[in-house]
Chains A and B, each alone.
Chain A
């Protein structure tokens, strides 16, 4: 069974630029999560999708972050414009339903300079 795929693995951008991350969840998984993990901290949930609907985006900085999950499969997370404090690893995870174990991708390490 293929795991959660994320790209790119690494990205370096200047502040005020925009960036997008892509995630392909495990086939058949209805729930998709985006987490932000700042160095030395635990993952913080940014947004949770159930199929193509948003379940929770209470911690998403909506003035600069956006996410979509078209057709209930792949998802993209965008930051525009980026700030220095957005430097982090962005983790995508999926689960078969909302309250079962989540499977994580390798993450995208973003550095904003």
Chain B
């Protein structure tokens, strides 16, 4: 069965500092991987996705993520965070299947220190 672990519940970084949010997944076959962001009171917005090919994927708002099959990880990074990046971030895993479902992690709340 698919599962996603986000080990960090809450992270605080200073504005302008770099960011890395961790995500580990469990799935027996080739996964599809996603990062979503959720601002308070809003729905989820897709930041980036990995289906195949280059393991370093670029997303919106300056985010990137790297798929490492050997570590079952898909960590999200940003070189310099802005105050507007404060939000909840969710990693999700799908599968290469017509009956695939998308399973979400428990999320990491990002706070930005001025």
Chain A interface residues toward B at CB < 8 A: 4, 33, 35, 41-45, 48, 50, 55-56, 91, 93, 97-107
Contact = CB atoms under 8 A, between A and B. Distances in A.
B101 A43 contact: no
Contacts, number: 59
A62 B107 CA distance: 27
Contact of B96 (A4, A99, A103, A104): A99
Interface string B78-102: 0000000000001000111111111
Given A91-B43, A104-B43, A104-B44, A98 B99 contact: yes
A98 B105 contact: no
A23 to B, nearest CB: 12
A48 B49 CA distance: 20
Interface string B6-41: 100000000000000000000000001010100000
Contact of B44 (A91, A97, A100): A91
Nearest to A33: B102
10 contacts: A4-B43, A41-B107, A42-B106, A43-B90, A99-B97, A99-B98, A104-B36, A104-B43, A104-B44, A104-B45
Contact of B99 (A4, A45, A55): A55
